[in-house]
Each structure stands twice: as structure tokens, then as C-alpha cells.
Amino acid sequence: MFLKFLRLEIKSFFRGTSLGINLTMKILRFIGILYFMGCLAGGAFLIYFFAEEKMHQDPLKVVSKFLIVAWIIDLALKYLWQEIPTQNIKPFLTLNIRKNTLVNYMLVKTFLSAFSWLNSLFFFTFSCILLFKGYSLPGVLVWFAGISCLFYLNSFLNIFFNDRETIAVVAGITCVILGALGYYNIIPILSYSELFFYGFYDSYYFALIPLVLFAGLWMLCFRYIRKEFYLDQGLEAKKTIGKTENIAFLNKYGAIGTFINNDIKMLRRNKVTKGILFGSFMFLFYGLLMFSSSLYKTPAMMMFMGLFVTGGFQFLFGQRVPAFDSSYYPLMMTLNVPYKEYLKAKWWLMNIMTAVSIIVALFYTYFGWEVYITFFAAGLYNIGVNSQFTLWSGAFNKSQIDLNSKEKRLGQKNSFNMVSMLLLIPKMLLPMAVFAVAKYFFGMAAGVVSIAVLGFAGFLLREKIFEIIVKHYKREKYSTLEAFKNKA
């Protein structure tokens, strides 16, 4: 039965209405998977020989020591990006197929995702190296099986966390607290990790722990999904107390103020937009990466980081305009909505958040005024230039967004467009190149001034640029409506 399901999905893929884009995305994903496969396999060799020759320690103990960190990162990545494949098999509920078979197929299919099996390539390669170096065959096999089961457990935990943001937040805070306790040597977390994971190799019965957990969580997930696995599940409206919110002073700005008011309400009320706000806050700390590698301290990479530090909200929110309004976009297009004011409201909201990010980023002065001035110039460029190009790229993003569901849309077909890729040149590559060249030939002041001038020029020419953007939105109007109406 499982093979029949797979054949049907393959037929669905090749008979779909967007076969060309689907194939393109599959090819890009395949290239990305090959890249990460090479990195993980090569990383196993590097870690082994680095631990043995540079650290003069047992490589297996070194890897076991940091496995707790890898396990938490793996769980976070799966929670953020791995989708739960339930919708593809819901149509089979109307057929004479046992529900148990459907649920088991869904659980098995979860393990076919690259997020589930990619990390096993590292452990497999590392285990082969251990065997080649003379480690015990039964011990290595038990260690590999135990570690693999623990990492596959994250797929089950992802199912439980998927629609329970409170549990996910509590788990995240707990991990941060444990990380801080380990970092300040209050609790030797890494030592406990080494003792536990190395025990799979040293004491075979330790491997029974992940095996029992794997079997237990499989049964719990099976019961949980089967209980919720009905065609009408989620259709019943939840009864809540209605509340009205209004930011009164925005009303005096006419249509633009009304649109901004609506966007602020949307940001406060929905799961996806709350995730956007959280992601924007996390982008503020992206610049701290420059102190982990000398590569990031080059002028071009400093500008790159400055664009992300000050433009996190802009990039996360702006490129999803009008996708955030996909649920009522067809209705909105039947009304006399002023397109320019609609887009300007998004533009002002992005720029307000960018200005706030510039102010909050003042803590980078701790690392030197040169760093903050670079980020300040990047913020001006985001306000004057990137805000408009980000809105422009949003015209080609036709991915529907369910505001009440946690968004996991890595690599979705409607979000891929060659025009959006080309717009990365003025958004990212141009300011990086201008800043690097100006600083190299004329110094830091010239680099900052050149980026600031570009930002001011874009701000002064905003009306002309907006006319071009509005034309593109109107040109893409009907294809966007068709994409938003198509629920398949």
C-alpha cells in the first residue's frame, strides 16, 4: 500500500499545473542536498582528525560531548522548516482504506524528508572511520543505532510541537537556560552529554533507551494523529470573545493610516506574523557573527550584515506583500482600493521598523563606532532603496499564507521567481560592492557617505519608483488572484 501511495504522489507531481516550476525547485533542492551531503561527510573526516591530531583526544568522546548541542539544533531546524505531510493523504479518507495504514504512511513519509536523514550521513561516515581505525564493531553499530534513533525522535517531537507554540517556547527557554548554565560551568552539561552518548559505545544496554523512546513516541504520535485525522477536523469555529482594537491617531492619515492600522492588528493577532516579529528581533543579533570569523570583518560582509541587522522586518514582511492578504485579496480587488496607498502603508510600516532597528542596533557601538556607522548607513539604504525593491519583489510572490498556522514554506514553488532573484542585485550586491570599493580607495567616511547618498537618492525618487511598482502589481494582478484562489 505504501508503494501505491508513492506512485500516486509521483503521478500527481508530473500531472500538476506547475510542472516546470516544480522541476526547477526539485533540482535546486537536489543540488542543495548534495551540497550538505558533501559538507556532512567531509565534516566527519575533519572532526575525527582534528580531535585526534590537534586536540589529542578520543574523537568518539569529543563528538559525544557536543551531541546534545547538535540534537537541540536539529530539533529547532525541524520545528522551523520540516512540514508535516498530512494534507496530501487526507483525500484518501473518503476511500475504503484503513485509517491506520494512512497514519503509518504519514509517519514513514516524515522520515523520507531530507531534514530527517541528512544528519545520519555524518554519523554513518563517522562510524565508518571509527571502524577503519579499529574501534569495536558491535560498539560502533550500537552507538550509530542509538544516536540515529535519538535524532529521528525529533521528527516525532516536531509533530507534537507543531501547533503548540506555548510548549515550543517553554522548550526553547529551557534549552537557553541549560545552555547558559553549561556555558558558565554551573552545570557540566557537555560532560553529562559525553557520559551519556559515549555510553552507547561503552555499555550496549544504554542503546535500549533511545529504542524504547522511539517505539513509545511512534505509538503516541500514531494515536495523536489518528485522533485528529478527520476531514472536518478544524472546520468548527472556535468561540472567543470578540475585541476591537484601533490606533486612533493613525486615522488622520487617511487611507494610508487605515492600512497601517490593519497591518498592526494583523501583526499582533496571528501566528505567522508573530513569528515575523520574533524573526525580526533575532536579526538584530545577526551582526554578532562577524566576531566568529575574519571573513565577516571584510567591508563587503560588514555591509551585508548591516543590511540584515537593520532590515530584518523589511525582508521578512515586505517580500510577502500581498501574500499576507491572500485570504481576502480577491475581495479586496473587487473594491475601490487605492493600490498606491495600499503599498505606501506597507512601505511606511517597514521603514518605521527599520528606523527602530537602527536605534536598537546602538549596542554595536560596544564593538566600535566604525561597526555601528556601517550598520547605520546600511539602515539608510534599507529605508531609501531596499524598502521599495522588497515591495517590488513581493509582486511576484504568489504563495498563499494561512495566518493562523505556523508557516513552513522553505522552497515553495510560488515563492520562486527569477525576477525576485534578480532584484537581489540592487538589494544586496550593489551596496556591498559600492561600500567595499569606496572604503578601499577613499576610506571609511567615503564608504559610509556613498551608501547614505544612495539611500537618500532612493528616498527622494520614491514617487517615481512607486509608479513603476504599482504598474507591476497591476500587471501581476490576475495571475496573483488565480494563485490565491487555487488551494491545491
Q: How would DSSP label each residue in 16-62?
A: STTHHHHHHHHHHHHHHHHHHHHHHHHHHHHHHHIIIIIS-S-HHHH
Question: pLDDT value at position 10?
Answer: 66
Which contacts qualify for 437-442: CB closer than 8 Å, 24 or more apart?
439/299, 440/299
In one-letter notation, the amino acid at residue 372 is Y
CA 9, chain centre distance (Å): 25
CA-based radius of gyration for the chain: 26
Cα gap 155→169, rounded to integer Å: 17
CA dihedral sign of residues 322, 324, 326, 331 = negative
- 180 membership: H or E segment, kind and range: helix 165-183
Q: Enter the DSSP assignment of 236.
A: S
Cα gap 102→92, rounded to integer Å: 8
What's the grid cell of residue 183? 556555558
Neighbours of 4 (CB within 10 A): 10
What's the rounded mean pLDDT across residues 202-224? 85
pLDDT tens digits along 276-318: 887 788 888 877 766 655 555 688 888 888 888 898 888 888 8
Q: Enter the DSSP assignment of 186.
A: S
Question: Greater confidence, 17 or 439?
Answer: 439
The model's confidence at residue 130, banded by pLDDT at 50, 70 and 90, is very high
Question: pLDDT value at position 131?
Answer: 92
Contact assessment for residue 229 and residue 84, using Cβ atoms and an 8 Å cutoff:
no
The model's confidence at residue 235, banded by pLDDT at 50, 70 and 90, is very low
Question: pLDDT value at position 414?
Answer: 42
Exposure on the CB side of residue 38, measured as CA atoms within 13 A: 5
What's the rounded mean pLDDT across residues 69-73? 89
Nearest to 400 by CA among 470, 469, 322: 322
Question: pLDDT value at position 467?
Answer: 87
Cα gap 12→2, rounded to integer Å: 15
Question: pLDDT value at position 311?
Answer: 87
Range of 15-29, 275-289, 435-449 with top mean pLDDT? 435-449
Helix axes 254-269, 339-360, angle to 10 degrees: 60
pLDDT tens digits along 358-373: 999 898 888 888 888 9
Neighbour-count burial for 427-448, b at 16+ CB within 10 Å, e otherwise: bbebbbebbbebbeeeeeeebb
End-to-end Cα distance, the chain: 24
Exposure on the CB side of residue 56, measured as CA atoms within 13 A: 0
Nearest to 375 by CA among 383, 88, 398: 383
What's the grid cell of residue 21? 516550476
Neighbours of 460 (CB within 10 A): 10
pLDDT tens digits along 251-262: 677 778 888 888
Cα gap 173→167, rounded to integer Å: 10
3-state secondary structure labels for all residues of 362-430: HHHHHHCHHHHHHHHHHHHHHHHHHHHHHHHHHCCCCCCCCCCCCCCCCCCHHHCCHHHHHCHHHHHHH
Nearest to 426 by CA among 460, 387, 389, 466: 389
Helices (H), 292-338: 299-318, 329-334
In one-letter notation, the amino acid at residue 473 is Y
Cα gap 344→468, rounded to integer Å: 13
User: Is residue 161's pLDDT more than 70?
Assistant: yes
Label residue 273 exposed, middle or buried (CB < 10 Å: 0-12, 13-18, 19+). buried
In one-letter notation, the amino acid at residue 227 is K
Question: pLDDT value at position 242?
Answer: 47
What's the rounded mean pLDDT across residues 361-389? 88
What's the grid cell of residue 236? 468548527
Q: Please, what is the Cα angle at 120 between 52 and 205, to 5 degrees?
A: 80
Mean pLDDT (the chain) is: 79
* Residue found by looking up cell 484562489 in the block: 485
Cα gap 392→397, rounded to integer Å: 10
Q: What pTM did the predictor assign?
A: 0.60
* Residue found by looking up cell 521598523 in the block: 353
